[in-house]
Amino acid sequence: MPYELEFNAKFKDQLKALANERQEAVRKKLEQIVEMPGHFEFVHRSDKVQKARVGKYRIFFRVTGNLVEILEVRKRDVAYKEPLLHFLAP
């Protein structure tokens, strides 16, 4: 099944804020996500939001049908320390 990528505004802003080499690494990981989204782990306590590792960063996304919605990219040390991420809410 071919998947489509959709980026939310927050992700786009976060991506622009990263260094060029980190942006490239994120883009490469996005290619892997769109090819095999089921390969990636779900976020703890979530059956909808998945995560992909890119060095010290995490890409958070969810899959609905053939759509992969890219939610956020965050540095790992803050991604899990902040209060429950807004996209995990029911």
pTM value is 0.88
- Residue 77 phi/psi, 5-degree rounding, is -65, -20
pLDDT tens digit string along 43-57? 887 888 999 999 999
Nearest Cα neighbor of 31 from 12, 55, 54, 8 is: 54
Domain extent, residue 41, equals 4-88
Domain count, the chain: 1
Q: What's 60's domain CATH number?
A: 3.30.2310.20
Which residues lie closer than 8 Å to 14 by C-beta, 6 or more apart?
72, 73, 74
Band (pLDDT 50/70/90 cuts) for residue 82 is low
